[in-house]
Structure 1
């Protein structure tokens, strides 16, 4: 399914959700908004969708704030890592990241970093039951050392960025149409974005959307990012008591403006904050059996 404008408007008119029960859940809970911290700090490359002009919120920040308000979420967009200090972090019901690099250093955007105590408090909050939604470059954040254990953030999010090729239209296969916000995509769809090749997947992933590498331009010079079997593109998992969701989509402005993508994020926010239930039984070895094979 190619996501044309007519289909996007239809999805928007249907409430973005693809699920009547989810719509009713939203309506029933409008009186108690969930507080969401949307963190967009860039300690490395600053993606255009989160780049501010002066004091004006970036495109992604404006969109999530607006659609969040429509669906019972109070979204606070920030690049200030001091919001994660142990005495502040308890006020949030969930966290959303479109971030890059080591967030404990000022980095390219020069905004205040997390402290080491703030990073630990954030990860503990997830383990204790707070929700987490990561988009696109959230896996290009807190990289693991080449040798040694994974960074605990990478363990939490469930995978780690390797490299990407040129932006291209790719076929995405729907592995779980019942996950909140997914039904409107049908059984598969095509969309133009910047696609991440990923590694260090956790073995308990519940894969929601699959990167169909058979539809992709696989080799660009020495970059063989997509010379591999199909692998997880969007997933959910439990991290202790916390609910974690990630999608690699979200580089391009037109993706953020797509009502189907917005519906996916709202579905993810509702699941991660406990408003709706969904099965997240691990299925990664079943639906993407070659997921561990990737160019080094």
Structure 2
């Protein structure tokens, strides 16, 4: 397989993509090592999205993005990329800040968010914050390397524009973990089908230590194989499983007992809306946040 790794930073520059003078970044070196050790792919390295032309797509199988800001990709080129993926000739792997990325044309941010499945909406879990990773599908080939409730330390994003019905979530934050818990679900890894093509995204990858982790490398390798149609794995959306995870997040963060009724999708949606109501999003105003939490608590106890 032929992989094109784009690690351009138009916005914040992560240490994993920062090139030393005359050298390659730690993530570029990691992908080269993964290509060499697995023999599964070759990799072209770039920090300039203008090199990704419609003509060049014919010689590629998978795009890997670890990017920030409005990339210099015009509307016609983006349309060609999406068509290439929809046809099944190409796949896409997004890593960490690929969700903090847009496209440099009018409507480009919305187009990219719709494509990826979500947009960076802050990271309450900053670098080094202890977390645990819930595995919603322990047998899934793109998540099996991470046992359920794996303790970790990473910078974890939450997302705007996320629609559960469009993606299959494989990993989320375990809200039983200290020190920071929120009463709403935070997806970490998901996959989706785009026409005949495939997309994988993971929030992991903020630190060099994550890129050095064998579990992360294994996951990215399997994602490249899957998006490149070299292996099969389920991609159908799993909103029912996500609803269960939403209820579990609320129950854990609010320290409630198990819900007394069946999972209500409308209630799960209400829990998801809490993210936008958090006081840090509303200049410290906690009124809507407190009222919504109280309604959910009451519904779960009935």
Q: Tell me the TM-score normalised to structure 1 length.
A: 0.77
CA distance in 1, matches of 2:170, 2:78: 28
* 2:52 counterpart residue number: 84
Change (3 A) 1:143 1:119: closer
* 1:270/1:276 contact within 8 Å kept: yes
Moved over 4 A (4+): none
Aligned partner of residue 71 in structure 2, secondary structure: coil
Q: Paired residue for 2:115, among 156, 160, 177?
A: 156
- Higher helix content, 1 or 2: 2
Q: How many residue pairs were aligned?
A: 245
Aligned equivalent of 1:191: 152
Question: Structure 2 residue aligned with 1:176, among 137, 142, 145?
Answer: 137
Corresponding residue for residue 259 of structure 1: 214
- Specify the alignment match of 2:94 in structure 1: 134
CA RMSD of aligned residues (A): 2.2
Tell me if structure 2 keeps the 8 A contact 1:38–1:95: yes
Paired residues of 1:68 and 1:75 also in contact (CA < 8 A): yes
Q: Which has the higher contact order (CA 8 A, sep 6+)?
A: 1
Kindly provide the CA deviation profile for residues 216-254 of structure 1, in whole angstroms up to 9, marking residues without a partner as x. Answer: 544xxxxxxx63412211010011221000000100111
**Could you tell me how far 1:120 is from its partner in structure 2?**
2.5
- Partners of 1:251 and 1:62 lie apart in 2 by 15
Deviation digits for residues 83-132 of structure 1 (CA, Å, limit 9, x no counterpart)? 2212222211010000001002xxxxxxxxx3443223222222222111
Alpha-carbon distance between aligned partners in 2 of 1:266 and 1:124, rounded to the nearest angstrom: 24
Task: Trace 1:139-288 onto structure 2 (pairs within 5 A).
Answer: 139-142=99-102, 151-165=110-124, 166-167=126-127, 168-202=129-163, 203-218=165-180, 227-287=182-242, 288=245
Distance 2:17 2:170 in 1: 25
Q: CA deviation at 1:214?
A: 3.7
Q: Is the 8 A contact 1:85 1:115 kept in 2?
A: no
Give the deviation of 1:178 after TM superposition.
2.3
Q: Which has the larger radius of gyration?
A: 2
Residues 1-150 of structure 1 aligned to structure 2 (within 5 Å): 34-71=1-38, 72-104=40-72, 114-129=73-88, 130-142=90-102
Instruction: Spell out, residue by residue over 1:254-281, the C-alpha distance to the aligned partner (whole angstroms, 9 max, x if none).
Output: 1110001101111111111111111122
Superposition deviation, residue 69 in structure 1? 2.6
Residue pair 1:84, 1:121 contacting (<8 A) in 2 also: no
- Please identify, of 207-216 and 239-248, the stretch whose mean Cα deviation from structure 2 is larger: 207-216
